Structure 1
C-alpha cells in the first residue's frame, strides 16, 4: 500500500479532557456517534445489513446454547449446529451471535431482535446458576483416546500446573480463552446496545471463575497458557474493569500480557513474519483498551507500531492481510498472492484497532485505510444474495470465493461476519464538542444530539464523486464545525455550501467548515474518481487497478465454471491510459490492447461475489513482455499442472488445514522457517493426517529445507512403510521436494488414506513443509 497513512500520533492519556475545535484545526480526540443515532439509506451497505439481519433471524439461539445447557445439566432445547459448533471450539458462535443481535438492534431498531438478546442472557444466567461457580461455556475437550467431553475438565489440570499448550490447543480444547473473549464481548454488547444489565452480572460471575484459574498459576505458567491463541481476553478484563471499576479485573487484564509477541512490538521491532495474524491483532486491541484506562504509554506505542507495520508493510490492496492466515516477511506481498489471502477476521479486528487509534488523535489517513478495507474486503466477504460469508478472500487470479453454508460451517469468519454486517453505520460520523467528523461517505441520516441537529448524507459514492450533506432539522441558527474527510488519493476537490464555492480551511486531511448553520443548509463535496495503478509491496511490476477508494478487478467468468486460463497480464507503455470507460455509473472499464492473453472487463472487486476475478497483474512494457513471455507462460503452466495433478494438499503447521485433515500427533511441533510452515516429530513421537486419494498410480511429494542434518524417519501410508528418508544437508540453501511412489494396492478402491511420519529412534522426522498427493503428470514439462 502507498504511504497514505499518518505518522504515529501521540495517544491521548486516560482522562484527558476533550478540546473544542478552532476554525483552523480539529479536536485532539474524537468519539463515534452512537450507532443507534445512525440510520442507513439505500446503498450496497444497507443491502448487506438487510441480508445479514435476515440471516440472524433465521438462526436459532437454542441451537447455539446447546452445549451450555448440556454441560450445566439442563435440558437442551435445540440440536447443536454443525461445522465448528460441533467441534471442540463449540460455543464461540453464541458470543458472536449475541454481539451481532445487539449491534443489529442498535443499527436498525428492529423489534424482533431485542427479545432474542434478553432470552440468551437469561439462559446464560440460568446456566451459570446451575454450574454454581460462575462457569459458563460451551467448548469441549478431546481426550487422548479420542472421546469428546465437557471442556471444563481442563481447568483443574491447568490449576495444578499441567499445561499442554500448542498454538491452538490447550489441554485438548480448541482455543478456550479466545472462545470466552467472544462470550464476554457478546455480554458487553447486550448491555451497551440493548440495555441488559443482567449481562454484566453474568460477565462478573464468569470473570470470577477465570480469575481463580489464573490465581493458581505463577507468571511462567501464565505465559504457557497464553501460548495458546487467547483472542483479546486481556480486553475482556479491561472492559470488565471499565464497567465495574473493580481493580481485580484491571490487575488480571494487565497480567494477561503475552510477552513473546507484545514485548518486541513495544520495543519497535517487527517480528511478525510467520506469526498467525488473527491470533495477534486482538491482543493489541486489548492493549489499546488498557491504555485508555491507565494511560500507560508503552501500550499505546505497541498498538501504534503494530498498526503502522501491518497497514504499510503487511497488507494487500484490499486492506486485508495474511497468506494462509499468517503474516509473511515485511514488503513481500507480491510473493504471496495466493488462493488463501486475507482472512476476514483479521480485517474485522484491524478496523476495531483503527477506531481506537483514531479516537486518540483524529487524522483522515486512518480512515483512508479504514475505507479501503471496509469497502474492498468487508463488503467482499459477504454475498448479499444469500447472506453467507467467506473465510479467505482469494486474490490469486481466477480463484472463486467460497461461501459458508446456512448452518453447517460457523467458521470464525462467519461469526465475525455476522457482526461486521450489523454495524455499517458505526464509523461514518464522529464527534467532539461542536465538531462533527464525516469519515465514510455512506448514505445515511444522523441524529447529532450535541447540536440538536439531524443531518442527511446522500451520494452515489464510491461509484460517483458527488457527496451531498443536508441539515434536515435544527432549531434556529447554531454555530458548529463540519470536518469532511478528503482522501489522500483525491487530489483536487470542490466544496460548495448552499450551492456556492467554499474555500474553508484544512487540517489533518479534513476540509473544515465552521459557520452558523440553519435547517436546509447544504454542502456538496465533489471528489475526482480517477484511475490509478498501485504496485504490490516487493515487486513494482505487480500492480492493481483502483478508482478512487475502490479496487477494480478483471472479470474472468462465472464462479460456477472452472477457470482454465493463465493469470492475465497487462502490457504497454501507457497501461493506465489504455483503459476505456464502459459504464461510469457502475465503475466498469475495459483494457484496450494491453490485456494478455486478451483484453478484459474490469469492475469493482467487492461486487464480484459469484465471479472469478483477477486483482493483481504482472505489468510489462512491450520489450519486457517479449523477454519474459516464454518464462511467464512456462511458470504459469507449471503451476496450473501442479494444481491439476493434486488429489490433495496438506499445509502442515497451519491450524485449519491440520484440523480439516484430522491431524493426529504426539511429541510433534509446528515449525516456521523462511516463510514456510511445517511440522516435525521428535524421537518416540509421530504425526499423521488423512489425504484424499483415487485409484491408479499416485505419488506422494514432501517438501524439506535443504540444510537439515541427522534426520532419519519413515513415511507410512495406511500403516505400511513406503519410504525411509534421511536428511543431511542434501540441498544447501534451498527448499526441495522429494517424490515417493505409492503402491497402487494401498489406494485401490479407497477415497482416503492416512499418511504418517515417524522418526527412527534417537532422531527427528522432518520438519516437513507440506505434502501433496499427485496423479501421473498431465502435461510435459
Structure 2
C-alpha cells in the first residue's frame, strides 16, 4: 500500500460550515427512531404485529403502532427492499461515534444490534433480514424479487462497521451466522447457476465477505468470496470490453469495491486487475462531466456521449461509491489524480446532493438545461440514495489525511484536526488545517472575519474577492521528530502556489495534480501557509464542442435559468462572459458567485452545491466571438 487511512477517531472536523453539515446529518440520523428502524425485522421474526386498534407489540412502544409514524417509501412493509436503511443507519452511526465519542449514538446503535440479534434467534439463529428467506429461493428459481442481495449487503455492511468502529462483538457474531446461511444456500448451485444469480443486483456482497474473511480468516468465508466472483462481468472487463454502457451503474460499482477488498485480503492479483480495468473503462476511457459523473438516470453513459444523455442526472449512490473507489486507488498508488477525482465529486456531488437547510437528499443531480433538485422527505421516501446520504455525510474526514511510509499526506483541503501517536517513536503529533479563504467555510461567520471588519490596525481587506484559496497548517509534536509531509497540489491550480514554513518560502516543483513532499525535523507549532491561485475556467461538454460548464477553481457553477440559453464571448477568456457578483457578505467572501456580462439577458451563477429549489443549468452553448474577428 502506498498510503493508509488514519482511523476515524484520529481525525476531527474543525468548527465551521462542514462540521455544521456533519452535525445536521447526525441530528437526522438520531431522529430516526429505533422502533421504526427495527419494525420490519420484528415483523419478519414474529416479534410484532399490527392490530390497527392500538396494537400489540412485544418489542416496541405503543407509538410504533400508529401508521403515520412509520417509515414509508422503500421501507414500507410492502416494499421488497425494506430493511436496507437500517444497515445504512448502523454504518452512519458507527462513523459518527468514532469521530465524536457520543455515548448516546453508541447506546442507540448497540441497542439496535442487540434487538437484531433477538430477531436472528427467532429466525433460527442464522437468517436475518426484514424479508423472508423465500425471497432468496424465488430468485434461485429465476423469479423476480427487488434486489434481496443488495438489501442484505447493507445490513452486513452496517454490522461490520459496528464491529470495526465500535468493537461490537455481537455484530461480528451475527455476520458470521448470516455467512453460515449463505454458505449452505450457495453450496447447492452449479457454477452456471451461481453466475445467473450474480447477474441480478448483488450489491456489495463480495465486499462484506471479504471484510469478514479479513477478520476471521475462516475458510468458509474465503470460499464465499470466490463464490461471489461475478466472472461474466469481471472477465469481460479483463478482456478490455466496454461492459458498462447502458448498464445499471450502482449494480457494478459495489461489485468492484468488493473486488478491491478481495485483493487486499487474499492477495490474488486478478482482483486488483479487475479494479484497474474497471477504472479504465468507467473513468479514463469514458470521460465525465464537470461534476465527475459519467452516469445519468442510474445508467452508464457511452464514452464521449454525455451531451446525448443530459437527463435527470447523476445518482447519489454512484457518486458516493465512485468516491470510495477513488479512495481505494489512492491508497494503492499514492497518485494525486484519485484525490483530485474524490474532491471534484465531493464538492459537486456529496455537498450538491444534500439540502444544506434540512439535510435531505436529492436522489438525482441534473446538469442539463432547466434541471431542478427533488428533495426527499425525512420518513416518506427512503430511497437507496437516502441511505448513502447518511453515510457520505458522516464520513467527510476519511480522505483528508493519509499515512505513508515516511510520514503524513494532506490529501484534501478541508478544515480539520489530526491527532495520533507515532507508532515507533511514541511522539504525539497534532496537525490542524484551517481555511483562511477557500471553499470552506461555506459562507460562514468567523472571528478573523469579524475582526477584519471592525479593526483598523490590521492589514486592510482586499478590494476584490481573492483569486486564490488560502490555507494554514499547524504541526505540533511533543518531542522533535523527523518525518515527511506531502501536500496535494490540486488539479484546479492556476499558476504557481505560495508556500511558507514559519514565514520562509518553500522551493520546489509545483505541478497540478501531484504531491510536493517536505522532509524535515518537526517540533512544536510549525506553521505552513499555503496559497493556491485559482481562476474562472470552462470545461467542454463531452460530445458537444462549444458547450461548456463554468468552474471557479473546483466549484461547478449553476446558472439560475429554466431553459437552455446561448451565451457569447471568448472561450479562452471566460471572464469575457461572466463577471464577479455578490462578492462579499458581511465578514466573508462568496466564492462561486458570478453574473453574465454583455448578454441579451442577465443570468446569475452560484455554486451548484448552493442551489436549493431554483431551476438551473450547468452547461451553456457559447458563440465564440473570436470566430467573427
Flag whether TM exceeds 0.5 (same fold).
yes
Aligned equivalent of 1:462, options 439, 447, 460: 439
Conserved 8 A contact 2:22-2:394: yes
How far is the alpha carbon of 1:594 from its aligned partner? 4.9
Separation in 2 of the partners of 1:502 and 1:155? 61
Q: Distance in 2 between matches of 1:519 and 1:72?
A: 57
Q: Could you tell me how far 1:243 is from its partner in structure 2?
A: 0.9
1:153 maps to what in 2? Answer: 134
Alpha-carbon RMSD: 2.0
Q: Pairwise mapping of residues 158-557 of structure 1 onto structure 2 (< 5 A)?
A: 163-164=141-142, 171-312=143-284, 313-338=286-311, 340-450=312-422, 451-459=427-435, 460-462=437-439, 465-471=469-475, 473-490=476-493, 491-504=495-508, 509-556=514-561
- Cα shift at 1:157: 5.1
| 1:65 partner SS | helix
Kept in 1, the 8 Å contact 2:546–2:622? The answer is: yes
Paired residue secondary structure (2:479) = coil
Displacement of 1:123: 0.9
For the residue of structure 2 that corresponds to 1:351, the secondary structure is helix
CA–CA distance in 2 between the matches of 1:236 and 1:222? 18
Alignment check: 8 A CA contact 2:401 2:410 kept: yes
Q: Give the one of 73, 79, 92 matched to 2:84.
A: 92
Report if aligned partners of 1:572, 1:621 keep a CA contact under 8 Å in 2. Answer: yes
Q: Please tell me whether residue 568 in structure 1 is matched to residue 565 in structure 2.
A: yes
Deviation of 1:569 (Å): 2.2
Offset from partner CA, 1:183-223 (integer Å, 9 cap, x none): 11100100111111110000000111111110111111111
Large movers: runs of 4+ above 4 Å: 504-508, 622-625
**Deviations 1:741-764, CA, capped at 9 Å, x for gaps:** xxxxxxxxxxxxxxxxxxxxxxxx
In the TM superposition, what is the alpha-carbon distance from 1:294 to its structure 2 partner? 2.0
Deviation at 1:381, TM superposition (A): 0.9
CA deviation after TM superposition for structure 1 residue 309, in Å: 3.0
* Greater percentage in helix: 2
User: Distance between the aligned counterparts of 1:440 and 1:618, measured in 2?
Assistant: 32
Change (3 A) 1:157 1:401: closer
TM-score relative to the length of structure 1: 0.70
Measure how far apart 1:512 and its partner are. 1.0
**CA gap 1:202/1:361 in 2 versus in 1, 3 angstroms:** same
What is the distance in 2 between the residues matched to 1:32 and 1:623?
Answer: 49
Report the Cα distance in structure 2 between the residues aligned to 1:59 and 1:350, rounded to whole angstroms: 27
Are the aligned partners of 1:571 and 1:620 in contact in 2 as well (CA < 8 Å)?
yes
Q: Which residue of 1 aligns with 2:453?
A: none
CA deviations on 1:375-404 (whole Å, 9 max, x unpaired) are: 111101111211111100111222220111
Q: Deviations over 1:12-42 (max 9, x none)?
A: 5xxxxxxxxxxxxxxxx11111111111113
Question: Aligned pair in 2 of structure 1 residues 622, 494: CA closer, same or farther (>3 Å)?
Answer: closer
User: Residues 49 and 421 of structure 1 are in contact (CA less than 8 Å); yes or no, is this contact kept in structure 2?
Assistant: yes
How far residue 107 of structure 1 moved from its aligned partner, in angstroms, is 2.5
Aligned match of 2:449: none
Q: Structure 1 residue 567: deviation in Å?
A: 1.1
**Cα pair 1:496 1:502 within 8 Å, conserved:** yes
Supply the distance in 1 between the matched residues of 2:308 and 2:87 (Cα, whole angstroms): 36
Match of 1:679 in 2: none
Query: Paired residue for 1:39, among 2, 9, 12?
Result: 12
State the number of aligned residues: 568
For the residues of structure 1 that align with 2:95 and 2:526, how far apart are their CA atoms? Answer: 31
Native 8 Å contact 1:102 1:114 kept in 2: yes
Q: In the aligned structure 2, how far is the partner of 1:335 from the partner of 1:54?
A: 40
Structure-2 change in CA distance of 1:172 and 1:269 (3 Å):
closer
Q: Aligned equivalents of 1:157 and 1:486: distance in 2?
A: 52
CA separation in 2, counterparts of 1:128 and 1:589? 53
Deviations 1:610-655 (A, max 9, x none): 3322211111225989xxxxxxxxxxxxxxxxxxxxxxxxxxxxxx
Name the residue aligned to 1:577: 575
The answer to whether the Cα contact below 8 Å between 1:40 and 1:425 also exists between their aligned partners in 2 is yes
Residues 498-534 of structure 1: CA distance to partner in whole angstroms, max 9, x if unpaired?
A: 0110114679711111111111110011101211111
Deviates more, 1:37-46 or 1:372-381: 37-46
User: Aligned with 2:299: secondary structure?
Assistant: coil
5 Å matches for 1:604-643?
604-622=607-625
Q: Distance in 2 between matches of 1:520 and 1:589?
A: 36
Does residue 81 (structure 1) correspond to residue 86 (structure 2)? The answer is no
**Residue segments in structure 2 that go unaligned for 5+ positions in a row:** 49-56, 441-467
Distance (Å, rounded) in 1 between the aligned partners of 2:392 and 2:291:
16
Matched with 2:446 is: none
Contact preservation (8 Å) 1:117, 1:194: no
Do the aligned partners of residues 103 and 403 (structure 1) sit closer, same or farther apart at CA in structure 2, a change above 3 Å counting?
Answer: same
> In the TM superposition, what is the alpha-carbon distance from 1:259 to its structure 2 partner?
2.5
| C-alpha distance in structure 2 between counterparts of 1:378 and 1:411, whole Å | 16
- Specify the SS of the correspondent of 2:12: strand
Asked whether the 8 Å contact 1:107–1:422 carries over to 2, the reply is: no
Q: Per chain length, whose mean CA-contact separation is higher, i.e. which structure has more relative contact order (CA < 8 Å, sep 6+)?
A: 2
Instruction: Tell me the CA shift for residue 434 of structure 1.
Output: 4.0
Task: Tell me the TM-score normalized by structure 2.
Answer: 0.87
Question: Structure 1 residues 154, 477: CA separation in 2 closer, same or farther (over 3 Å shift)?
Answer: closer
Tell me the distance in 1 between the aligned counterparts of 2:235 and 2:550.
38
For residues 588 and 415 of structure 1, the distance between their equivalents in structure 2, rounded to whole angstroms, comes to: 29
CA–CA distance in structure 1, aligned partners of residues 554 and 266 of structure 2: 36
| Cα distance, 1:572 vs structure 2 | 1.9
CA 1:137/1:529 → structure 2, altered by over 3 Å: closer, same or farther? same
For 1:614 and 1:452, how far apart are their aligned partners in 2? 49
Q: Report how far residue 172 of structure 1 moved.
A: 4.2
Q: Which runs of 5+ in 1 are unaligned?
A: 1-11, 13-28, 140-150, 165-170, 557-562, 626-781
Secondary structure at the aligned position of 1:457 is classed as strand
CA radius of gyration, larger in: 1
Correspondence list, 1:65-144, <5 A: 65-75=38-48, 76=57, 77=60, 78-79=64-65, 80-86=70-76, 87-139=79-131
SS of the residue 1:611 aligns to: coil
Distance in 2, matches of 1:32 and 1:537, equals: 34
Deviations along 1:334-375, one digit per CA (max 9) or x if unpaired, are: 22122x110000011111111111111101111110000011
Cα distance in 2, alignment partners of residues 73 and 368 from structure 1: 49
- What is the distance in 2 between the residues matched to 1:520 and 1:155? 59
